[in-house]
Structure formats: C-alpha cells, structure tokens
Amino acid sequence: MDVPFLSLKEVNARHADELKAAAARVIDSGWYILGEELAAFEREFAAWCGVRHAIGVGNGLDALALLLRGYLELGRLAEGDEVILPGNTFIASFLAVTGNRLKAVPVEPDPGTFNLDPAAVAAAIGPRTRAVMAVHLYGQLADMAALRALAGQRGLLLIEDAAQAHGAAWDGRRAGAFGDAAGFSFFPAKNLGALGDAGAVTTDDDALAHCIRALRNYGSQSKYAHPLRGTNSRLDELQAALLRVKLRYLDEDVRLRRQVAQRYLHGIDHPGITLPRVVREEAHAWHLFVVRSRQRDALQRHLQAHGIQTQVHYPLPPHRQPAYADLHETHLPVTERLHEEVLSLPMSPTLSDVAVEQVVAACRRFGGRP
C-alpha cells in the first residue's frame, strides 16, 4: 500500500456533505465578499483562539504583511526597523518583513525543537530592533514565556507566525493569543485548511484590528472613503463558510495528529534518525512530523522505495535563496545544517494505523547509520 504524504481529498471527503451545503448556502445568498459568513467565521475563530479580534485576509503571507503594515500605520514601527526571526522558516515570514521595508534579522534556532532560542534573540537585539517574530515551526509553540519576558524588558513587539500552529497550546492558551498579534494561514494543507487561499490576523489590540480591517479593503472603513493606501486582501464568503465547517472539527483533527505523532515517537527507533523534541504534548499541534538524519536523501529514497511519500521543509533557508542575495553573507550554520537534515514524514488526521505502522517499520529497516 502506498502512503501519501497528505491526501487533501481524504481530509475534505470526511465533511463533503457539510462543505457542499455551506457552499450552496453562499452561492444561493448572492453575497460573496465581506458578508455574514466572514463576520461569523471571524467571531468563531477569535473565540477559538481566545482573542478579541480575528481579521480574515486573503492568505497567510498577507496576514503577516498586513499586521506589520498596521504597526507601521500606527507609528509603532518605522521603515528600516529590524525584526528578529528564526533563520529556519518558510520564506513567507521573511517576505512579510522585507515587503514592508523592514529589515529581517535571522537568528539560529534550537535544533531540538526547531524554534527560536530566546538567548539567540537577546544576543541579536540592537538599537534598531523593534519586533520579534516567533514562528511556531511545524506546529510546536516557540518559548513564548521567555520571548514575552524579553520583549517586555526591551520594549519590542512580539509577533507570532502561527501559520502552522492552529491548536498548539500552553496551559490551555492557544497559538495566536500569545503575541501582540499573530498571522494564520488557511492554505488547504494547514491544520485548518480552506479549499483555496485564506488567512487571518488575531490580536487583542483594538486599534490594530481596526487598521487591518481598513488595509485589507483598499484602506477604507466606509465606502469610497480611503484614509489609508490599503490593498485588496479579503477572505471571501465561500472560503469563510467552508472554514466554519472545518473549524468545528479542528480540535478532533489536532487530537488525531497527536495520535499519529505519538505512534511515530514511540515506534521509530533508529540511531540514524533523530526524532523531534516535544516540549509538552499540548504545545505541539503537529502540522508536520519532522525528523533529522545525516543521510536525509538516502532515507527519503529508502522510504520512497517502500511506497512512502515524504517532503523536505525546506530544502534551502530564506537567507540562501536567490531572492535574498543581500543576506547570503549571513552565517547561520545550525540553520543550514537543519535544512540538509530535515525530512517530513506523512502526517494527516486521516492517516490510518496501518499506514503509520508501515512508516514506522520502513524507518526501522533503514540501512543508514549515524
């Protein structure tokens, strides 16, 4: 039996009837942008995260970019300010920063958790540093208590890239509720996935929320009045209606992801495969299950030969991408090594026990050594 990395068809087939009913409701309503479905989804998602505001936008990159843009408009950031973020992240984290003419300052992560190391952040703070963007990579919360304390001492904004972390929690508090503001993605493959592009900003800050609501809609709060030079980035009614269905199953899906992860953690036992370090079960929402191996490419080929599809998140860190030639001199050996060693195993709430066992058995049979 082949084991796919992730079957979105299976994920959404579980709720096909409800999704089709929601789509039909929107089609029949005659109202497709900025309507009741979005307002309801924003209320429901904000409540689920435990924050005052959720603002639906076009995608996860726009969520991060617009929240930074909001801080620029409010005068809490200025062009050229520095934002510290982990070197090992998806390029969207960087694009949100540099797209606002802010400076991305990447630092090395903790290689065990893949997340920001508060000591590395503290060491990188300079006179122009104004914000820290924590990425809850692969679905595990960064050390938000330490980062919050540091941000408080140094007067920095704390921003969460929560695009992979829907459902990660600490003492019951969820991702999206730790920073001054957070950006979520509802790209179809994320823990909460739309059937197209979508994203949201979460925050308790009324002024920021008000500003982002205008920015996403041509800088307008009321029709044809434009106090700001905004953009067009709205979460449409169809996606909002579909997301409302899927939000009802998100807790259960995170539980299923944790179950798969526990089976991998207990089953995979190989000196050449390093398992991810889990700080606390609650803190990880398992968007991805990422192992490390010095023979990553051989491991990937071995698993492929056993019918198991894997992926690499990500082959090249942002500061090594051609798009960031200005950062090529940045020395981040831990980040670079991680990108050579990481491999994402199949992970999905629909992954069967048999499939999980097949992955575990194939890992155990890997010939590679430390």
Ligand X SMILES: *Cc1c(COP(=O)(O)O)cnc(C)c1O
Among 161-169, 245-253, 289-297, 299-307, which window interacts with ligand X (CB under 6 A)? 161-169
Name the DSSP class of 194.
-
Least separation in angstroms between residue 357's CB and ligand X is 28
The token pair at 324 is: 């960031």
The answer to whether 187 contacts ligand X (rule: CB under 6 A) is yes
Question: Which listed residue (59, 113, 217, 350) binds ligand X by CB under 6 A?
Answer: 59
Is 257 or 302 the residue whose CB approaches ligand X more closely? 257
CA distances from 227 to 20, 39, 147, 208, 217 (A): 39, 23, 34, 15, 11
Residue ranges in 194-233 that form contacts with ligand X under rule CB under 6 A: 197, 199
The answer to whether 163 contacts ligand X (rule: CB under 6 A) is yes
Least separation in angstroms between residue 368's CB and ligand X is 28
Name the DSSP class of 249.
T
The answer to whether 113 contacts ligand X (rule: CB under 6 A) is no
160: phi then psi, degrees, rounded to nearest 5: -110, 130
The answer to whether 135 contacts ligand X (rule: CB under 6 A) is yes
CA distances from 230 to 81, 213, 214, 234 (A): 21, 10, 7, 12
Is 60 or 87 the residue whose CB approaches ligand X more closely? 60
Question: Which listed residue (61, 97, 275, 351) binds ligand X by CB under 6 A?
Answer: 61
Is 161 or 237 the residue whose CB approaches ligand X more closely? 161
The token pair at 31 is: 């109202």
Sheet containing strand 181-185, edge to edge, reads: 53-57, 199-203, 181-185, 157-161, 129-135, 82-86, 103-107
Least separation in angstroms between residue 337's CB and ligand X is 20
Question: Which listed residue (93, 115, 239, 330) binds ligand X by CB under 6 A?
Answer: 93
**Nearest-CA neighbor of 62 among 163, 165, 188?**
163
Among 58-66, 79-87, 120-128, 360-368, which window interacts with ligand X (CB under 6 A)? 58-66
Distance in angstroms (rounded) separating the CA atoms of residues 309 and 6: 9
CA distances from 352 to 119, 120, 186, 288 (A): 40, 40, 24, 16
How many degrees, rounded to 5, is the angle at CA 71 between CA 70 and CA 76? Answer: 155
CB nearest ligand X: which residue? 60
The answer to whether 236 contacts ligand X (rule: CB under 6 A) is no
Is 179 or 199 the residue whose CB approaches ligand X more closely? 199
Binding site for ligand X (CB under 6 A): 59-61, 89-90, 92-93, 135, 161, 163-164, 185, 187, 197, 199
